Structure 1
Amino acid sequence: MRKLINVFFVAAGLLLTANVANAQQKLGHLNSDEIYASMPEAKNAQTTLETLAKTKQAEIDKMIAEYQTKAAAAEAKQKTLSEANKDVVIKELQAAQTDLQDLEKRIGEARTKANTDVTAKQGELFPPINQKLASAMGAVAKEKGLAYVFDISVAQGFNNLVYFDGGEDITAAVKAKLGISNTPATKPAATPVKKN
């Protein structure tokens, strides 16, 4: 019996130790949307991408305008078709149709290349920013002794936080680590959180 009581106390002690260890794990959360909106590097990268996309779209728009002009000219030429000039006008219309098809193909290729260029530029600009943010988040989490940090941003779809009852918001500390002002760039949306 005495052995059974000793085993019971040892087991109870282990459970208590495990519960105390679990209770000491600290949780934190941040809003990466707010941090990204405040990071100068992210703002510059977004501006660069928007400028590139606008430049590519302007080139495509110019080609579309050329297509529309040539299509209108072909339509006007078709209206001049008569029995007297039938052979000449038909040859001109066929040449115009070939030219329009070629231009349409070039517009499609330009759109594909523009998408590829913008995606490549995005792949070039954002990984260093993401790494810098990840390093800052890790550093702040270690400084604060946090075991877990959850991202509650809208861009993450609130999928990284299932239950939240308190915790420590380290958004401001990560922004400070990055040398960014702690005033919010935009007011973050309220986080719908399920409490059990």
Structure 2
Amino acid sequence: MNLVKIFRLTLAAALLTAGTLAATSAQAQAPLKIGYTDVQYVLSQMTESKQIESELKTYNDQLAAQLKSKSSEFETKVKDYQQKSGTMTEVVKADTEKELQRLQQSIQEFQRTAEQSLQQKQQTLLKPALDKLQKNIDLVADENGFTYVFNSDGGGSPLLLHAPKDGDISDLVLKKMGITPGAQAPIKSGPASPATTAPVAPGVNKTKTKTKK
């Protein structure tokens, strides 16, 4: 199973780019000043990021362990069926195959709900950090006279395609939070699925559950 890849910043983009920092009447009379920040870069520097990553990985591992347990149980029953099917009556054989189909479907459903649960957990863990980031962006923008601030994060669809370097307030935001800007790699987006492809029961059509990478 791949290690957890966290921090899809759909939520961050929604919080930090949809009408961020509406101009006050005083600002409206001043020259327009536009700034930008790389949300992913700033998040990667925050102390909260390591804790969030750790908690999300733990949760992912728990889901993966549950899936592995369910899959092992299923595979054991499949082997037992394969060994005994030659001596089973048609009625017993049909009942056993139905039971294996039910277990297979249960595993596939668990896989789907686990993926959804992992994404919800990610959003819950991220929200306090995003709220803190938004607050400090507001403070930096007010103190430095920026009328609007855009997200230049290249991890998704950037809303800023060109701008002068002196418009980048990322390091100012980090300093406002008491963080010395460093060179940590930006957080990668997209939580990995905790589930692998569900096993297939004998006597049923082979349907595979897609896993996200």
Q: Same fold (TM over 0.5)?
A: yes
Indicate the structure (1 or 2) with the bigger Cα radius of gyration: 1
User: Cα RMSD between the aligned structures?
Assistant: 2.4
- Greater Cα shift, 53-62 or 111-120: 111-120
Could you list the runs of 5+ residues in structure 2 that have no partner in the other structure? 1-28, 188-213
Counterpart for residue 5 of structure 1: none
Say whether 1:49 aligns with 2:56.
yes
The whole-number CA distance in structure 2 between the counterparts of 1:152 and 1:119 is 23
Question: Aligned residue pairs: how many?
Answer: 159
> How far has the Cα of 1:101 moved from its partner?
1.8
More helix by share: 1
Counterpart for residue 184 of structure 1: 183
Do the aligned residues in 1 keep the contact of 2:152 with 2:160 (CA within 8 Å)? yes
Matching residue's letter, 1:56:
L
> How far has the Cα of 1:45 moved from its partner?
1.7
The whole-number CA distance in structure 2 between the counterparts of 1:96 and 1:146 is 68
Could you list the runs of 5+ residues in structure 1 that have no partner in the other structure? 1-20, 189-196
Counting only pairs closer than 5 Å after superposition, residues 16-31 of structure 1 correspond to structure 2 as 24-31=31-38
Do the aligned residues in 1 keep the contact of 2:44 with 2:186 (CA within 8 Å)? no
The answer to which structure, 1 or 2, has the higher relative contact order (CA under 8 A, 6+ apart) is 2
The whole-number CA distance in structure 1 between the counterparts of 2:163 and 2:113 is 45
Counterpart for residue 123 of structure 1: 123
Seq. identity, %: 24
The whole-number CA distance in structure 1 between the counterparts of 2:164 and 2:124 is 38
> How far has the Cα of 1:161 moved from its partner?
1.1
Counting only pairs closer than 5 Å after superposition, residues 1-196 of structure 1 correspond to structure 2 as 24-78=31-85, 81=86, 85=87, 88-158=88-158, 160-186=159-185
> How far has the Cα of 1:163 moved from its partner?
3.4
Q: Deviations over 1:102-157 (max 9, x none)?
A: 21132123223323322332232222211111111110011111122222111242
The whole-number CA distance in structure 2 between the counterparts of 1:132 and 1:39 is 10
With normalisation by structure 2, the TM-score equals 0.65
With normalisation by structure 1, the TM-score equals 0.70
Do the aligned residues in 2 keep the contact of 1:77 with 1:89 (CA within 8 Å)? no
Q: Say which SS state the counterpart of residue 150 (structure 2) adopts.
A: strand
Matching residue's letter, 1:131:
D
